[in-house]
Structure 1
């Protein structure tokens, strides 16, 4: 509903020239299109100098009363509106006149809806509703942008977390393959290793893991049969061997826990 208290405080503004030497009328020659049977002039025309219409190869005649025939027109010299017959709809015509100025109506004085003589809605109300809608739309856009930004941050975080997980998996996973006897056997048996492959070299009991570039010593395997035993007079350098001090020539043996008698290179620990 229109706020009439505000409406009456929203005046019509008028700027009119005096037509004197100091404040002369402004001469116009403007081309306008007839829409809804009328053309709205830029300024209010001076009644004394009248309005001249040209175009469409017709001789246009101004009338003040009577029916508007095809080449007739009427001028509202208070509002600056020129009226035409419906047959001239959409035509572009040239208007020559002396402009006295213009009256400017506030949007609150232009009605959009009415009930009888009661104004229900004005152009200003429509403008206010549109501005409120724009504000709400901008707020929603801002919220969407905030949510979108947050989604992008979460997506980037997930990608980084996935990347970190893949890195950890790539650098920690172990895929155990059958052991080999020597390090050279490791090279020969697995010439095209994949990241994470783990192979025990039985000779030393060392586990090697392929990291994508080299076989890396990662631990001493618990998957071998026993310990090396050196039978000699001199203490061996390898701390992972058991030294059996004898006066005999150095020889290398291994401890073999088993039920069956091992070959001569083993020291047999008989298991029940």
Structure 2
């Protein structure tokens, strides 16, 4: 730690914090980045005259040289080691410099020795300590006033808390009464059944009873389900005839054995529909103008490509879909591709968007056209 030296012969002593520069109490490396103000930089500590001050791009001159010529060049500076001040040329005004030096401590002056000239003729001098004493007096007065205000606020807060407790109790009693009434009404609403004439299905149910009341109950005779309106939705509550056995190959149930066997033998392939997109000529990097609308809801399960004349380079094709002719979206995460000299795509295409809605329109977009590729055909298989 640096030594703390005070000169006790003064009432308000100057305090000096200094280091001895020995191995036990060495000087400290400093790097102060400070601006030039009024031609001077005041360092944060006193620099060591032995180790000097280093500023990149500048040269330090000795006090003797400066006294002989009485001016500084643009890239020169003079250090006053006794007070820790660096003097610069006028061109450096306002510019910040990084000053590197060994700090040997600092001098702290008492506030009573820093004065301000308030008026002249006659001179009136007030020290910084006078200002500090005045400020402290005002702070003490304000603390007393703040203490009184805080006491008033505290009393007001106590009364407010008491009022809040009383209000909360009243609100809680009102809420309890409201909850009890609501529970009674819920019990009535959830058990009340008002039977209505049966309808064919849910479509006719919503049309016929478009403005239902809580408790209305109706049955759909196509499936035997019974629905009750709960205030928001029609909720299925039971199925009439739910004890009927399902059909199997040996006994009638909800359908006959013959109908069951006929449905079972129906080939699944009949559910697949195919869209064919083609171009009967040379294929270039372009969007093919042939559009294919699809009128059913379904799932895109496969994409295949063929060409009559193979290309000499790779071909890449996007499958695009739209509903408004303005926004076309690629349904593939990995596009349809033809290797050179191949009549078939390389089967690496991956479908990203499989869901198809009735009214979707498809087209093919040639992102990369193989050289001399002709007579292109693309099959989209959609399962409905």
* TM bucket, shorter chain: 0.3 to 0.5
